[in-house]
Chain A
Amino acid sequence: MPPFLFIFLGALAIVSALGVIVQRNPIHSLLALIATLMTVAILFIGEDAVVVGFLQIIVYAGAIMVLFLFVIWLLNLQVETGPTGHLALKLFGSLAAALLATELFFILAPPHLRVKFTREPVGYGSLASLAGKLFTDYLVAFEVASVLLLAAVVGSVALARRLPGTDDPRAARKVAS
């Protein structure tokens, strides 16, 4: 990946990530999040992780974000009016985040992080190499992940289900109390 492309994508990712937390309309936050995810996916592809990059676009920017969109529609969320929090909290939050970024930079950036650079083998990042790893070394984790997804599906249906005989939860609460 040429450096100017990285700078462009990195700036885009940071700006759209900031957009997620400063927009007052949840739909706009979601759009900014989708922009961030797409940018990160392109960075993945630039780092020779082609399959994972496309999976990111399909699974994240496709499926999970549509789920968010449906929930925003379902709850009929509007633009937040009025103050969204204390000013002190915002200041504290920004300061804490800046400190965290500095700390992470010092921990993660080389030379503190000793990474032995190795040339990528042939076929690195291809579907065959990913699947080969997934179905040999990580087979148990793969099977556990399928159980996790099943449990999540059953759990989310059970959580969002309306209990029988309670059409209006407020009326039901009144009866209960």
Chain B
Amino acid sequence: MIPLTYMMSLSAIIFAIGVAGVIIRRNILVMFMSIELMLNAVNLAFIAIGSRLGSMDGQVIVFFVMTVAAAEAAVGLGIIISIFRNRETVHADDLTLMRW
């Protein structure tokens, strides 16, 4: 079996790439994809630790994370379509109505 350190490092790197995507990119859709990336990194950590503990709880939690991600994608994309219809943009810097 692969050492746990390697799996957790991979998970940490993918999570950090997702964080970097949210910070750097200004396209709302790509920011959204970066969030999916972070969710997946966490799922990977759950699966890795769960299989080493011999417990199914990690896999059940991953199942729920996928459910929440599906709901989040549906609502988020609905919001993006609504924003695009009203403002004709998907650029986060153009949406300044609620900026202080």
A residues apposed to B, CB below 8 Å = 1, 3, 6, 10, 13-14, 17-18, 20-21, 26, 29-30, 33, 36-37, 40, 43-44, 46-49, 51-52, 55-56, 59-60, 63-64, 67-68, 71-72, 74-75, 77, 80, 84-85, 89-90, 92-94, 96-98, 100-101, 104-105, 108-110, 113, 115-121, 124-125, 129-130, 132-134, 137-138, 141, 145, 148-149, 151-153, 155-160, 162, 169, 173
Contacts of A116 in B (CB 8 A): 53
Looking at the assembled complex, report how far the CB atom of B75 sits from the nearest CB atom of chain A, in whole angstroms: 5
Contacts of B58 in A (CB 8 A): 49
Chain A contact residues: helix, strand, loop or mixed: helix
Size bracket of the B interface = 35 or more
The docked-state distance in angstroms from the alpha carbon of A75 to that of B9 is: 37
Closest chain B residue, CB of each to CB of A26: B29
Chain B contact residues: helix, strand, loop or mixed: helix
Tell whether, in the assembled complex, residue A40 and residue B43 are in contact, meaning their CB atoms are under 8 Å apart. yes
Known: A20-B34, A97-B19. A36 touches B40 (CB 8 A): yes
